[in-house]
Amino acid sequence: MQLPYVYQVTKYDPADRDERGRYTGHEDTVSDHGEVEASYLRAVAAFAGETGVERLAVREPQVPSFAPFGLEPPVDGFGLDGLFPAGPAGFHDGAEVPLDIGLELVRAMLRDNGAWCRLEVEGAFAVHVGWDQYVYVSSSRPCEAALARTRELGLFPERLDTSPYAFEEEEQVVQRPGDDDFWADLHRAVATGRAGILEETHLEGASRWHHLTRDTIDPVRAGLAPRARLAVWPPLSTDIDAVLSALPADGLVEGVWQDDDGTIRSAIADEDEFPDLVARMSRARAAALLSMYVDERVPLCTAVMPDDDGVLRARWRTEPTPSDRTWARRQLPA
C-alpha cells in the first residue's frame, strides 16, 4: 500500500544541488556517529510519534554476504548485538520491535556496515534507509509538527511521491508455501533418495544448511526461522575427489560439505580462494559444488515458510524451479 505522505530526509541542503539535482556541497556521505546521526534518529522518532506508531515490523532483512559494499568496515554481529532478546535470530521478516529498537536499526543502517531492512507499519508508516545518508519516511498523516522538528534539527525534509526503497512486487508468480503438503512431499523425496539437504535463507545474504533424513526432517522444520525461504537439494556426494575435480577454472561457486560431526557447512569462493576451499572440503564426509550464477543454480524445489496460522505473508519470493512451476499449474482452477 502506497502511503500518501512521503518525505526524503537528509543533511544535504537543497540549495547545494545543481540543475540535475546532484549534491555539490561539502557534507560527507558517511555517518558522523555523533550529533548529525542523532538528529536523524530524533527526526524519525518525531514522524513516528506524530503518526501514533510505537512498534515497527522488520521486513526483508538482509546482511552483507561474501561481497559487502558498505562505505564503512563491517562490524561483528552486523550491528545487531543486544537489540533482540533472542539474539540475532530475532532479526527476521515480520519481527515486531519497539520504536527504540527500530531507531537502533536505523542507526545501524546509517552506518552502512551491517544489517539492513525496511521498517514498516502496514497502512500507516514506513522508514527506509538508502545510500549516502538518505532516509525516506512515509506516513498516513502529513506530520507537520515532525517536519518542523526535522528542520529544527538541521536536516532537510523534501516531499516525494514515493520512497525509492518501497517494496516492489515482482511479476505475479504463484509462490509455493512451506506448508504440510510441501513437507509431506519432502518426506517422500528424502525416503526415495532424491533429496538430502535443505538450504534455509533466513536473511538476504545469509543461509543455513540442514542434513535431511527421515529422522531429521521434522526437527529441521521446527527450527526454521519465521518466513524463511527454502531450497531443497539432492544428497551430498561421498566421492569427494569427483566433487573437487569438477571445480571450474574460474568463477564463483559455493562449496557445501558435511563434517565428521554431521554438521553441514558452506563457503563461497572464487578462483583465488579455490585452494583454501579444496583444503577444507577434502576432509569432508560428503560434499557438493553449487554455482553462484542464477541460471545455473537450480535446486529440486523451493518454498517460503508461512506464518503459524498458515498464511504466507512474506513478500519475498524464491526463483521458481521446473518442479515449482508444475506445482503452480496444479493450483490453477480446473
Residues shown for the chain: 334
Look at residue 234 in the predicted model and tell me its pLDDT. Answer: 98
Answer yes or no: pTM beyond 0.75: yes
Look at residue 294 in the predicted model and tell me its pLDDT. Answer: 87
Look at residue 173 in the predicted model and tell me its pLDDT. Answer: 75
Residue 311 has pLDDT above 60, yes or no: yes
Task: Give the containing element (helix H, strand E) for 127.
Answer: strand 125-129
- Give yes or no for a contact between 110 and 133, defined as CB atoms under 8 angstroms apart: yes
Look at residue 244 in the predicted model and tell me its pLDDT. Answer: 96
Look at residue 66 in the predicted model and tell me its pLDDT. Answer: 55
Look at residue 297 in the predicted model and tell me its pLDDT. Answer: 94
Grade residue 10 by pLDDT with cuts at 50, 70 and 90: very high
Mean pLDDT of 26-34: 93
Residue 309 has pLDDT above 70, yes or no: yes
pLDDT by residue (tens digit) across 226-274?
A: 999 999 999 999 999 999 999 999 999 999 999 999 899 999 999 999 9
Look at residue 15 in the predicted model and tell me its pLDDT. Answer: 93
561457486: which residue's cell?
253
pLDDT by residue (tens digit) across 61-103?
A: 999 875 545 556 667 778 888 898 877 889 999 999 999 999 9
Share of the chain above pLDDT 90, in %: 83
Q: If you average pLDDT over each of 78-87, 163-172, 292-301, which comes out highest?
A: 292-301
Residue 12 has pLDDT above 60, yes or no: yes
Other C-beta atoms closer than 10 Å to the C-beta of 185 total 18
Task: Give the containing element (helix H, strand E) for 257.
Answer: strand 253-258
pLDDT by residue (tens digit) across 189-214?
A: 999 999 999 999 999 989 999 999 99
CA distance 191 to 197: 13
- Give yes or no for a contact between 155 and 12, defined as CB atoms under 8 angstroms apart: no
Other C-beta atoms closer than 10 Å to the C-beta of 154 total 12
The burial of 215, by beta-carbon neighbours within 10 Å (0-12 exposed, 13-18 middle, 19 or more buried), is given as exposed
Look at residue 186 in the predicted model and tell me its pLDDT. Answer: 98
pLDDT by residue (tens digit) across 101-159?
A: 999 999 999 998 789 999 999 999 999 999 999 999 999 999 999 999 999 999 999 99
Mean pLDDT score across all residues of the chain: 93
